[in-house]
Amino acid sequence: MVLQPRKFKYKSRQKLRRVDRTLRLKRDLKFGQVCLMLTRPLLINSKKMFRLKLFLKKAARKTDKTQRKVWVNTFPHIPLTKKTVGSRMGKGKGKLSIWFNKLSTGTILIELKNLRKGRATYFLKQAQNKLKSKSKIMFTSSCRESVKLFLGRSSVSYHAIW
């Protein structure tokens, strides 16, 4: 497996598959200037996350000259087990198949720094196509304003329920 935690206690853990659908507006950009914010909840597995990280390395190739940086603000920490196809019932839960992560609405998934606006939007649109959830590209100056437009309200409450 590509991305997985170094140490874990139990590989067969309950998942609680309900995903939080509330929009958290307090989440601002921590590191970069451009970000990809999720507008729908998403379950992302380790394989898809690893491919996304490899793709985003292209965005930060000239790091020595331009100080370009990329942050992916998630890591797979929930194990998923599967029984083999055609096996009979019983005899345990199954082998560990993949690791995944649950991301709620309003989560900033990717942040980019020191990229031109056009190049950043190009890479983030490509990343949007690779994800199966809807997302939105936001910039630092328009971060609060775009969240207000996204909700369709003039006064923004910090825990708006979908």
Cα separation, 122 vs 159, whole angstroms: 31
Q: How confident is the model at residue 19 (pLDDT cuts 50, 70, 90)?
A: low
- Residues 104-139 pLDDT 10s: 888 888 888 888 888 889 999 999 998 878 888 888
36 falls within a domain: yes
Q: What is the mean pLDDT of the chain?
A: 77
Q: What is the pLDDT of residue 23?
A: 56
55 falls within a domain: yes
141 falls within a domain: yes
Give the domain extent around 121.
23-84+91-160
Instruction: Give the predicted TM-score (pTM) of the model.
Output: 0.71
Q: Tell me, letter by letter, the H, E, C secondary structure of 5-45.
A: CCCCCCCCCCCCCCCCCCEECCCCCCCCCEEEEECCCEEEE
7 falls within a domain: no
| CATH number of the domain bearing residue 43 | 3.90.1170.10
Per the structure, the count of domains in the chain is 1
15 falls within a domain: no
101 falls within a domain: yes
12 falls within a domain: no
6 falls within a domain: no
